[in-house]
Amino acid sequence: MKRRTFLKSAAMTTAGAAGGAVALSSPAISQNKRQWRMVTTWPKNLPGLGTGAQYFADQVTKCSGGRLTVQLAAAGEIVPAFESIDAVKSGTVEMGHGCPYYWKGKAAAAEFVSNFPFGLTAQEYNAWYHFGGGDKLCDELYNDAFGCKFLPCGNTGVQHPGWSRKEVNTLADFQGLKIRMPGLGGEVMKRLGATVVNLPGGEVPTALAAGTIDWAEWNNPYGEASMGFWRHAKYYYSTGWHEPGTVLELFVNKKQWDGLEPDLKAIVEQCAYAANVVMLSEFQARSGPVLEQFVKSHGVIIKRLSDEQLIKIAETSATVLSEITAKDPMSKKVFDSMNKFRSEQKGYSDVAEADYLRARSLNYKWPS
C-alpha cells in the first residue's frame, strides 16, 4: 500500500510539472478513473437498439483505456425505461440512451428531435445535425429541459407503418380500423377515422392474434422478426411516412459532461457518431434477409399505401404538425429548422438517392 501511495503521488507531481500535458494529468490517478452508468430504455441486448447501446458503451471504455468506464443498465435495472431522463437529470446516473419522443410529455419539442412524419431520412437527419444547425438546437433543448448534453447515437432508418390483418386499399378502409400506432403517426391515423389503440409493446402480438387490433406498427423487419406479427397479419405495409428515420439519442448529465476532460468529451462524441452509423448498419444489414424470409417462407404480402392514401396522410400530418408547433415555441423552433432543411434537401435526395434506387430496380440481366 505504501509503495502504491508513493508512486501515485509521484505521478501526480509529474502531472503538475508537465503543465499542459492533458493526457498525462488524469489517467495515472485512480480517483480520476470515472465509472459511469448508462441507463437505457431497452431490454439488455435487444437486437439493434440494446446491442447498439452496448457497442457504444464498450467503445467509450476501450477508447479511454478504462479512464471512463461505461456500464450499461437495461430498462428497469436502475429505473423504469421512461424515467431514464429524470435519472440523468437528477444525477442518479451519468448518462442514458433512448429515443427523444419518449420525453414529449416533459418537453413537447423532444418529439421533433426524433424527426417527424414526412420528415428527414437518416442521412438527411445526420446532415441536419452536423451541418444544418441541429447540434446547437438539440443541445439548447436538452440543456434547458433536461439539464443534459444531447448526442445522436443511432438511427432506425425508414420504418414500416405496419402489419395488417385486412387489406387496406382506399382511404375509406381506414375507417374504424383498430390500429396500434403510437405518437404523431397514431394522431394522424385517428384524424383519418381509425380507432387508435394504445398498447404496451409486449401485448401487441397477442392483441393482433386475437383481432383486438387490426393493424400493428413496430419499427423495421429486423426489429420485428422476434415479434412474429406475420403469424397473425398477412399484409405488410410500406412505407414509413410516420417515422422516416428515427434518431436514437445519448443524453449526458450536463454537470458531468462539463466536468469531463477535453479528450474524454471528444471520445464520447466520436463514439456516439460511430454508434450512429453502426446501429443503422445493423438494422439495414439484418432487415434485408429478414424481409425476404417474411415473403418467401411466411407468405407475407408486401403492400404499398396508395397515392390517394399517402397524399391524404401527408396533408393530415401537416395539419397535426402545425397545430402542435402553434402551441409550443420550442417545438416550432426545432420543426422550422428541420423543415427548412428538408425543403433544401428534397430535390437533391430525389435525383440522388431516389433516382438511383429506382434505376437499380429496373428489369435487366445481372450476375447472381
User: What residues between 306 and 345 interact with its own copies by CB under 8 A?
Assistant: 307, 310-311, 314-315, 318, 321-322, 339, 341, 343-345
Tell me how far, at minimum, the Cβ of 195 lies from its own copies, in Å.
24
346 near its own copies (CB under 8 A): yes
The span from the CA of 8 to the CA of 33, in Å, is 13
Distances (CA, A) of 218 to 222, 273, 287: 10, 25, 13
199 near its own copies (CB under 8 A): no
Q: Would you say 63 or 141 has its CB closer to its own copies?
A: 63
368 near its own copies (CB under 8 A): yes
302 near its own copies (CB under 8 A): yes
Distances (CA, A) of 93 to 58, 149, 252: 17, 14, 9
Only one of the segments 106-114, 169-177, 250-258, 354-362 lies at the binding site for its own copies (rule: CB under 8 A); that segment is: 354-362
Distances (CA, A) of 254 to 1, 63, 167, 247: 36, 21, 49, 20
Tell me how far, at minimum, the Cβ of 202 lies from its own copies, in Å.
25
Site for its own copies in 120-139 (CB under 8 A): 121-124, 126-132
Only one of the segments 15-23, 141-149, 190-198, 250-258 lies at the binding site for its own copies (rule: CB under 8 A); that segment is: 15-23
3 state DSSP class of 121: coil
The span from the CA of 67 to the CA of 31, in Å, is 10
Site for its own copies in 209-228 (CB under 8 A): 220-221
297 near its own copies (CB under 8 A): no
Q: Would you say 130 or 255 has its CB closer to its own copies?
A: 130
- If one counts every other C-beta atom within 10 angstroms of the C-beta of residue 16, the result is 10
Only one of the segments 88-96, 114-122, 185-193, 223-231 lies at the binding site for its own copies (rule: CB under 8 A); that segment is: 114-122
Interacting residue with its own copies among 8, 44, 190, 234 (CB under 8 A): 8
Torsion angle, alpha carbons of 216, 75, 156, 342, to 10 = 100
The span from the CA of 233 to the CA of 205, in Å, is 10
**DSSP secondary structure code for residue 354 in this structure:** I
The span from the CA of 334 to the CA of 101, in Å, is 13
Q: Would you say 177 or 321 has its CB closer to its own copies?
A: 321
Cβ(335)–Cβ(196) below 8 Å: no
Interacting residue with its own copies among 169, 211, 238, 255 (CB under 8 A): 238
The span from the CA of 91 to the CA of 105, in Å, is 20
Residues 154-183 vs its own copies: string with x where CB under 8 A? Answer: ---xx-x-----------------------
The span from the CA of 139 to the CA of 206, in Å, is 40
The span from the CA of 305 to the CA of 221, in Å, is 17
Tell me how far, at minimum, the Cβ of 169 lies from its own copies, in Å.
16
Residues 247-266 vs its own copies: string with x where CB under 8 A? Answer: --------------xxx--x
**DSSP secondary structure code for residue 227 in this structure:** G
Place of cell 471520445: 267
Cβ(287)–Cβ(159) below 8 Å: no
Tell me how far, at minimum, the Cβ of 215 lies from its own copies, in Å.
17
Tell me how far, at minimum, the Cβ of 27 lies from its own copies, in Å.
4
Give me the residues paired with residue 34 across strands: 68
Tell me how far, at minimum, the Cβ of 120 lies from its own copies, in Å.
10
The span from the CA of 305 to the CA of 136, in Å, is 36
Q: Would you say 28 or 209 has its CB closer to its own copies?
A: 28
Q: Would you say 144 or 258 has its CB closer to its own copies?
A: 258
13 near its own copies (CB under 8 A): yes
Helix axes 49-63, 262-298, angle to 10 degrees: 150
64 near its own copies (CB under 8 A): yes
Q: Would you say 148 or 313 has its CB closer to its own copies?
A: 313
